């Protein structure tokens, strides 16, 4: 489709500059923040990626993936959810039963299972002071960014937002120039980051999106969408001419 989703579990297909190891290490880094653990566990792309990485032939990648899953399992809100996750439990069972599984990976898988089944909170002591006593709020923040007209600008927004603590995924639709940010990062932080990149973050409206800047009327979303389609058609026509030359 036209939506380019940026989430670490799926970025191998999208962000060719990131290696598998880069992806799994970034997921582990995100999971080190206790507040993000329920968010990552419930994002099927992120958790699905970790499950895949746990069976990677590279022992280091598999080890990091299992450590990250265990980290997710330390959070009280995740234990029951992960225990009932069929894909995860099946993958762990295969790792434990297969005679071809490296001994260190089997040990890591056993640690994950024990943590998931444990009824007590095994959150590391250094994390407990910051662990929330109430359910963590995860949000989808949607923005319309009219200046996001090129791939370079989309990449800038994507990388800037993904670098923020608490951000799990960023989805960009280049046709509608909309960005959806999933995670627990504060709205104010997201908007400041977009502004720092030299762009403006506007909330998508239900109908026509209007803004008065010096008395100037901004076009409706439908007009912007039509313009984006025309630009896309022009690019495709230009590429076709180049191929025929």
Per-residue pLDDT of the chain (245 residues; tens, 9 = 90+): 333 333 444 444 334 346 788 888 888 888 888 888 898 898 888 899 899 999 999 999 999 999 999 999 999 999 999 999 999 999 999 999 999 999 999 999 999 999 998 864 444 433 434 444 444 455 678 888 888 888 888 888 888 888 887 777 788 888 888 888 887 788 888 999 999 989 988 887 644 344 433 333 333 444 555 566 777 787 788 878 777 76
Q: Look at residue 245 in the predicted model and tell me its pLDDT.
A: 63
pTM (2 decimals)?
A: 0.54
| Cβ–Cβ under 8 Å, residues 161 and 199 | no
Instruction: Please state the φ and ψ torsions of residue 93, each to the nearest 5 degrees.
Output: -60, -40
């Amino acid at each position: 489709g036209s939506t380019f989703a940026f989430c670490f579990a799926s970025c191998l297909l999208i962000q060719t500059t990131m290696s598998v190891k880069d992806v799994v290490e970034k997921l582990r880094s995100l999971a080190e923040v206790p507040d993000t653990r329920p968010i990552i566990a419930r994002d099927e792309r992120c958790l699905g990626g970790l499950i895949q990485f746990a069976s990677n032939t590279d022992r280091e990648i598999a080890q990091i993936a299992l450590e990250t899953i265990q980290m997710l399992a330390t959070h009280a809100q995740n234990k029951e959810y992960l225990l009932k996750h069929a894909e995860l439990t099946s993958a762990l069972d295969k790792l434990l039963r297969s005679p071809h599984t490296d001994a260190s990976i089997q040990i890591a898988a056993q640690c994950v299972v024990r943590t998931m089944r444990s009824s007590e909170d095994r959150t590391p002591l250094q994390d407990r002071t910051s662990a929330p006593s109430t359910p963590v709020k995860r949000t989808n923040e949607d923005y319309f960014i009219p200046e996001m007209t090129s791939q370079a600008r989309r990449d800038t927004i994507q990388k800037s937002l993904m670098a923020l603590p608490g951000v799990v995924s960023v989805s960009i639709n280049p046709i509608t120039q909309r960005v959806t940010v999933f995670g627990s990062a504060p709205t104010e932080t997201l908007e400041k980051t977009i502004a720092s990149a030299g762009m403006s973050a506007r909330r998508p409206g239900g109908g026509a999106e209007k803004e008065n800047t010096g008395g100037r009327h901004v076009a409706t979303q439908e007009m912007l969408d039509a313009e984006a389609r025309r630009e896309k058609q022009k690019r495709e026509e230009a590429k076709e001419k180049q191929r025929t030359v």
